[in-house]
Structure 1
Amino acid sequence: MLEVRRLRLLSEFARRGSIAATATALGYTPSAVSQQLAALEREARVALLDRTARSAELTDAGRRLAERADQILTLVEAAEAELSAQADTPMGRVVVTSFPTAAVAFAPALAHSLADHPGITFVLRQTRPGDGIRQVQSGEVDIALIDDWTGKIADQAPATLQFFHLRRDPLVLALPAAHPMSDPDRPIDLQSLREEPWMAAPPGEPSRQAVDRLLDVVGGARPVPWEFEGLHTILSLVARGLGITAIPALALAAGDQGVAVRSLPDRSLAREVYAVTRTASVRRPSVAVTLRAIYAAAQDVRPPSPEPARPDGEPSTGSDE
């Protein structure tokens, strides 16, 4: 009989492509992963991996079993969820991973809301861009909070995952409080800011790509921003009057002092924020309660509201909600 835990290892190997990467993802040693996959081969009575001295890859039989393993694991989780749904009180450990700005912004409301459910052991971790969906698929976490600058991730997701839209998070201009363009009655003129010391995340970070798109329209050679790891580091430098930046509004939820916020004329520069979980997990009471708490937290967050500027340069009234 095939052992479910070993099927999970095979499924993860199919995603990762190497024993070392599988071991790192699941917290095992490479030797342990290799031994368990060898045991699975004995159970299956067929070679699942084609091994060489330096690498291993799935055989045709291994690929077929890996596809079946994903289906089997989904059914096992669905059965566990049905049993869990019979419980009157949500209980158990729920692990959530999040990109940093959402973790910081949502954590206070989440802690307050989930305090009403003492049977739930809640774990919130931060992760790098792109890792959240993979960790949900592998079963490392129950829920991932992800951001999407492309508008395509949810449409391209497999049926085994379910996406819950939490909010739209626009790119905004952050300036020192004493900066002349911090005046909400003054129209935003990006060309007049091209000689300012811009600050941004390193290339490859999703927010940096949005900043580069913004700076493409300033005319002449695009300003080259100073690069800093961490949006809150960048905001602290802006607050000290050392430069300016464009940043997702959610990063301002902590209420950084000394920073003025202005809307940008191009409203398409925004990211969508989602909670992602396995479809089979949604029926687990503990996961369902946590998803509701996450949604409420996302609605409750109120970053500083910039005074929006119209594309024609005329200031408008009201908040940028």
Structure 2
Amino acid sequence: MVQTTTGERDLHLDRERVVDDPSVMATPLRPTPTPATPTLSSYADAETLDGVLDRAALRRTPGLYTRAWRIFRANKVSMTAMVILIAIVIFVLSAGLISTYISGFTPSENHLSDKLKPVMTDGYILGSDGNGRDVLTRLAYGGRVSLMIAVLAALALFFIGGLIGLISGYAGGKTDTILMRLVDVLLSVPTLPLLILVSSLFSPGPVGLAFWLAALSWAGIARLFRGETLSLRGRDYVDAARALGASNPRIVMRHIVPNLVPLLVIYTSLSLPGLMLAETGLSFLGVGVQVPTPSWGNMLGDGQQFFRTNFSLVLIPGMMIYITSLSMYLVGNGLRDAFDPKLTQ
């Protein structure tokens, strides 16, 4: 006799109930749903959605300059220095308005009867110098000359040094060797004595002085740009562009130069205070900007002989030189922190 298990008996009873019950037999069987097969349109929709999301993510990602501005703006010291520097620039650019509407004097106008007037005396807001010239007017015009020389020298400096460094780093070989030996020669010569010698021989004006400052100071910038160009030349995207047949000028202009712009911004701002101090030093020694053209340096030099009788003739231009150079340095330091990825990570 065959024995049945409990599960088999239950299955047999269920079959008998289904056969005996007409309502169960009348219920149609529902087909089991099968998963839908992906179509080409569904893939296209998914790819379109992914593309939209990728573009939205790219729009939300800040660029290099936007990120640098955010970092710089968060630096309170550099922002304060930039505000002070902007105020000084506005002051020197308004020299004509100050001469016409505030002081009423021209920068070379002499009134020997009013010489060595103290501050806020007889219409002289900042006093008068040993030749009876208005200090406020000369301070504004002198600041314009000093800042103009520093800016022109910085632009010429980075054009000459940056171009030579770019050519040396990208070309390599004998070109690199020759240019770097020239850089070594210039770096071995002390710049300040050479500037004094050149200024004494040629007595250049403001533009000529800016040119000589740049012509004798570009060697360090050339070496800096050469090293950065050597680093960029070996990057994968440069090799890929070269493999695709891009010409050397196109590689330089599209892939090398744009990556040198942050370096240019940083070291231009950091070089400005040194160039301005070089100009004021030469003018103080009498071999820079010559009278009657005002400069903060020659104002400081003219005022030193009246140091005991009228201290403000030394204090006012000296403080302007100090505040301006310090503000330039702090702004440059903030830009370096904003653009340098090693410091911002």
Please give the range of the TM-score, normalised by the shorter of the 2 chains: under 0.3
TM-score (norm 2): 0.23
TM-score (norm 1): 0.24
> Which structure shows the higher helix fraction?
2
